Structure 1
Amino acid sequence: MDKLRDKINSLRAEAEAANGRADTAEDALKKFSNLQTEREQELVSLQNRIALLEAEADRRDAQLSEAKQLQKDSEATLNQSDVLVRKVDTLEDKLDSTETQLRDALENARRLDLENEKLQRTILQNEKDKERLELKYENLLKDFAEAKDELERTLNSLSDL
């Protein structure tokens, strides 16, 4: 019996030791289970954060692409603007040149108008002089014809004498 008691006591001690180890293992299991649950929650949280960051990265990529396109458009606009500015400068130079030519042409036209008016006055004066001289010529022809007639009469009267 003593052996049995010793054996029972030893089995009890083993059972208590096994229960202690089982309690320790259960505590460790609960601790690891809690830790696993925390890790899984942290993993889910990190996965959500990764998804948000990926969405943010995609949005930023889209913004970057849009910004690059805007920059290209801006550069194209600047290039077109430079071309248009050069074209405007060229047209302004041509306009200045054309205005200068127009002013010169107007000045020449005024000068020619003045010369034309002067020549017309000269022509009118010459026509008046011509009419006056023609009238004078006609008068001189009449006087000449009269003087000739008179000379002939005088010669005839002299020859009759």
Structure 2
Amino acid sequence: MAQYPNHTRLARTLLDQQGQINDLTKERDGAYRERAHLVALLAALTDGAVISYARDIEEPGWQIVYLKLGSHQASWHISPRDADLFAHVERVDVEDPRAQWDGHTTEAKYERIVAWTTDLAGQCGPACSEMHTETGRCVIARNR
């Protein structure tokens, strides 16, 4: 390789770039795993959460979890590598009415989350933390 110094430099550059790509991929996957943990927790705390296979992704194993936040839907795609976090969520057929996307955008989803969070904080705050039932619903909020 000594007679081809440019090839050696190029090979090192490619290896460095591949290492950077691997690091970024690991970081991205870690962020998605963290998000999946939080969505799984939210699903456990939300009545009527369902999960179904994602028809809009050709890669096998992808799913969509659908939650009802107040009177609005929120949904997230779930990677096959994160499916284990959703074993507690009711699996439904893709034709189930609860697994039909209502057309919300990502922006609208997060606006709905803000509104729902604000509503919950007003109804059920730290003062009632000891009054939660086995279903996760706050007795105070249910009785309002």
TM above 0.5:
no
Instruction: Provide TM-score, normalisation by structure 1.
Output: 0.28
More strand by share: 2
Higher relative contact order (CA 8 A, sep 6+): 2
More helix by share: 1
Instruction: Provide TM-score, normalisation by structure 2.
Output: 0.31
